[in-house]
Structure 1
Amino acid sequence: MNQHKFQAEGISAALDLAVGHLTEFAIEGDGRTLKPLHRAPWIGRDDLPEGLPQGVVRLSGDFLCAPFSRSDVEAAPLHGWSANSEWQVVSDDAVAGGRRASFRLERQIMGAVVEKTLILRDGHPFLYQEHSFTGGSGAISVAHHPMTEMADGGRLAFSPKRLAATPPDVTEPDPARGAHLLAYPARSSDLTRFPAADGGQTDLTDYSAVRRHEDFVTLVEADHGSMGWTAVARKAEADVVLVLKNPAELPVTMLWISNGGRFYAPWNGRHGVLGIEDGRAAIGHAASLGDNWLKQEGVETAFALGGRIAFRQVVGAMPLDGGDPPSQVEALPGRLRLTFADGSHREVPFDETFLRIGEPILK
């Protein structure tokens, strides 16, 4: 595998240059090595079903979706060429207090040049990333695709959300091939009481190690004026995975719940994977450009191309005892503070300027 590896003090990462997926991401903390991101167990096997997109064949860690889901405006595989084709290394440099690596997609998307910048900082338990599009025409829907894995389930917490909604189409409608837990289509303003397929309700903040299901639900950010965040307290792994964004850039968080609900290859009923897909998108490129339900809610679902557009996300992890996620995550000068239900706090080094629109990528 053609990987590009880079590291800073206490943290390391690697990018699969064939598809632009993160294949390695490790954080040293409290005498432990945390590995918050999922890597598909079928990578490297030669007995996979024919016709799978390269982004599925090499499914790892996190990657850029451009467009998100179906590429039905400009021909490309699922999640676009950004998740299925080659990237080249532009630079890999030491910077003040860390390391910065930049990459360029060898293909253009809608005529735009696509670049990826990844930053690791000494002592920070986070990967800071920016994606940019320069030139092109039309508009593009985008999303990040970080995936974590839970061997024994976990608990989720979020920055305030206005609503959660499932799409019209059931994820796995054929019970011989898969199973789903949520109702389709459905919506709720209470994440702990979402309509279930059996007519009852289920808690989206509880990731069960027992239930087997494949589901997809979109969370719309509330107008709270601060950083958007997702926290996943993983029980067996004894850590909390954090995914941070600026809601003005990425107004929705799409949860891909792949918890053993696909019985066919290459999934084969494996459980425990959660995608936390912060984006500006509906499901499919054409839908994102058209009159979709999110636009009717006042939510942007694509970026207009032509000049230079950029958006950022931060993903990381820290050790956690107790199994409950934070009730609040806030950026303070030079640090990130997690507040828990019992009033306790945890703080870690953090570049609080990174997610501000218009800020330089490095201080």
Structure 2
Amino acid sequence: MSVLEFQLSDLSFAIDISVGHLMHFTVVEEGRLLSPLHRAPWVDDPDAVFEETTPANVRRLSGDFFCAPFGRNDVEPGPTHGWPANSAWSHSGTEESEDRLTAVFTLERTVMGATVEKRLTLRAGHPFLYQEHRLSGGEGAISVAHHVMVRMEAGGRLAVSPKAFACTPDEALEPDAARGRSILAYPAEASDLRSFPLADGDTADLGQFPPGEFHEDFVTLVEAPTDGPGAAPGWSVVSRNTEQDRVLVLKNAAELPVTMLWMSNGGRDYAPWSGRHTGVLGIEDGRASGAGHADSVRQNRLNARGFPTAYALSEDHCVSIRQAIGACSMDENEGDVADLSTASGCVTLRFVTGREKTLRFDEEFLAGA
């Protein structure tokens, strides 16, 4: 059985240990089931067709997975997004108490010689899944990222923590019109996320999803500089129109200085995508260059401007990467999200209407405490 399920009070998650993907994460709020994560339509289709070169992370595409390296795997042999997203994990054990559950998993392969451990934690009363990945030992440098995916039946809004700028890579995700299409300009950069260049000369609001029809696009949002470890966390909040809920993704902005957005809205015509993968927004918090592992570990346009794109590995060192995914209902009277802050064991959402919503949250987790 490759799928393991865990539950604590009104929270649950399932993980596909054949590839380390979160299949689902659910929160019950006042009798309503919130399920914020996406699962590709072909995963449960026994008749799904794949191109021979399709990696396991696409064949089993679900919810969220940990990438090491992120994107192109061009330093040591391995599939796109690395072995943590494409190969088996072992369940090392579960730590349980009345108000906390932590499931621990170990990757059955190494990454640049490092052992990789996954720790997934639920806390009673906290509408969040706390994730930690530990890379112990190894040699060289590795880029990393999470790969959270949210699907919107009829679009939604994205609010994010302050960013320095947004940029696209040198080449579009789908440059071959015979296989798919992209609509953003490549390469391009903008400091105003509400006015990002499109290929046709117009602009798009990156806070509005989707920004167009039948497209596959990728853009990197770079965190505004912080004032040190005590600074506010980096965050993304997706407000889904039809689903009437909000999906929260929080990180330590100093550790993971970029949030890469993958917009998958029917822009790929080849199997297994076949134009049916629509309304999906990937929120990929990382320390990485979107151009792949080799680019992440050499000088690139991000680290040249002071934003790190890789972690150094060493025999006697452990790298810890932490992130949290949460969900809450959306009241139509709240309006758009204006800000998010963490303090005193809570996340506070502030809306343009002046209203607020508070959720229980362990803010010390992101700081590594």
Instruction: State TM-score, norm by structure 1.
Output: 0.96
In structure 1, stretches of 5+ residues that fail to align are none
Q: Conserved in 1, the CA contact under 8 Å of 2:143 and 2:309?
A: yes
SS at the partner of 2:129? strand
Letter in 2 for 1:220: V
SS at the partner of 1:353? helix
**CA offset digits 1:195-219 (Å, max 9, x no partner):** 1110011110000386221100000
- Alpha-carbon distance in structure 2 between the residues aligned to 1:94 and 1:170: 46
Letter in 2 for 1:228: G
Counterpart check, 1:159 vs 2:165: no
In structure 2, stretches of 5+ residues that fail to align are none
SS at the partner of 1:354? helix
Q: Out of 10-19 and 316-325, give the one that drifted further.
A: 316-325
Aligned identity (percent) is: 53
- Quote the offset at 1:96 in angstroms: 5.3
Q: Out of 68-77 and 206-215, give the one that drifted further.
A: 206-215
**CA offset digits 1:281-324 (Å, max 9, x no partner):** 01211110111111111110000001111010000110002284
Partner of 2:130: 128
* Pair 16,131 (structure 1): closer, same or farther in 2 beyond 3 Å: same
Q: Conserved in 2, the CA contact under 8 Å of 1:280 and 1:301?
A: yes
Counterpart check, 1:179 vs 2:181: yes
The correspondence of residues 322-361 of structure 1 with structure 2, limited to 5 A, is 322=332, 324-357=335-368, 359=369
Partner of 2:86: 84
Counterpart check, 1:263 vs 2:269: yes
- Quote the offset at 1:237 in angstroms: 0.6
Partner of 2:232: 226
Partner of 2:324: 314
Counterpart check, 1:3 vs 2:3: yes
- Alpha-carbon distance in structure 2 between the residues aligned to 1:243 and 1:250: 12
Q: Conserved in 2, the CA contact under 8 Å of 1:10 and 1:27?
A: yes
Partner of 1:111: 113
Q: Which runs of 4+ in 1 moved over 4 A?
A: none
Letter in 1 for 2:36: P
- Alpha-carbon distance in structure 1 between the residues aligned to 2:217 and 2:335: 23
Q: Conserved in 1, the CA contact under 8 Å of 2:205 and 2:211?
A: no
What is the aligned counterpart of 1:274 among 281, 295, 300?
A: 281
Superposed CA RMSD: 1.3
Partner of 1:196: 198
Report how many residues are paired.
Answer: 358
- Alpha-carbon distance in structure 2 between the residues aligned to 1:346 and 1:200: 36
Instruction: State TM-score, norm by structure 2.
Output: 0.94
Letter in 2 for 1:299: F
Partner of 2:302: 294
